[in-house]
Amino acid sequence: MLDAPAPADAPADIGCGTTAADSAAALQALITEETEASGNALTKIAGDFGVSWATLVAQMLNFVIVAVVLYFFAVKPVAATLDERQQKIADGLQYAEEMKTQLAEAERERAEKVKQAAIDAQAILTEAREQSREMIEQKTQEAAAQAEAILRKASEATELERQKMLTDVRQEVARLVVATSATVLSRDLSDTEKQTFSDSAARELATANS
């Protein structure tokens, strides 16, 4: 005789006649055993090292407190100091770059001023040479004019002296002629005769000097 099929809502058989509910209960029991075994192992290890759960939690709290204190009173100020130093270094580099730029600009301005000064000096030197040449020409002309004036005055003075000497010579010659004529004639000459002899002597001298 054949067995009748099992109803649809009946639990399925799991190998060796075990149901699904039995398998889940067995799995839960296994997990609980493993957890207890792990806890017992941790407890055993903690006991071996003389550490209790209360001490471990207190140490963890102390570590957290120390970490917080170190962060706010050590790490954070140090980080702020490092940031400040970094900012100062950046500012210093920026200032150095600005100073480098200003130095280059000042050097360029100095080179331009030196170049302009050289141009101005050359212009002044050229102008001074022109003025010196003009002054030399003017002084030369003045000196030539003065020399010419001196020569003219000397010539005039010489001519005057010559005329004076000629006049003196004429007078002396006329006097000698009159005296000689009086001696030759063995008498005193009248004023008319003296004038006649004097004029004659003067004409002779003038003819001889012309």
- Alpha-carbon torsion (179, 184, 189, 194), positive or negative: negative
- Say which residue, 16 or 50, is predicted with more confidence: 50
The string of DSSP codes covering 114-127 is HHHHHHHHHHHHHH
pLDDT digits (tens, 9 = 90+) for 132-143: 888 888 888 888
Q: Quickly state the pLDDT bin for 111 (edges 50, 70, 90).
A: very high
pLDDT at residue 193 in the model: 67
pLDDT digits (tens, 9 = 90+) for 198-207: 667 666 666 6
- 8-state DSSP, 21: H
- The mean pLDDT of the chain is 76
d(CA 46, CA 105): 75
pLDDT at residue 20 in the model: 64
Domains of the chain by residue range: 25-209
Check whether 113 has a pLDDT greater than 80: yes
Q: What percentage of the chain carries pLDDT values higher than 90?
A: 9
Which SS3 state, helix, strand or coil, does residue 45 take? helix
d(CA 149, CA 138): 16
Q: Quickly state the pLDDT bin for 17 (edges 50, 70, 90).
A: very low
Average pLDDT (33-37) is 63
Check whether 187 has a pLDDT greater than 80: no
Alpha-carbon separation of residue 59 from 71, 73, 80 (angstroms): 18, 20, 29
Q: Quickly state the pLDDT bin for 9 (edges 50, 70, 90).
A: very low
Q: Note the Cα 69 to chain centre separation in Å.
A: 55
Tally of CA atoms within 13 A in the half-sphere of 56 that contains its CB: 10
Flag the least confident range among 9-13, 40-44, 57-61, 64-68. 9-13
Q: Name 177's Cβ contacts closer than 8 Å, sequence gap at least 6.
A: 197, 198, 200, 201
Is residue 14 within 8 A of residue 20, CB to CB? The reply is: yes
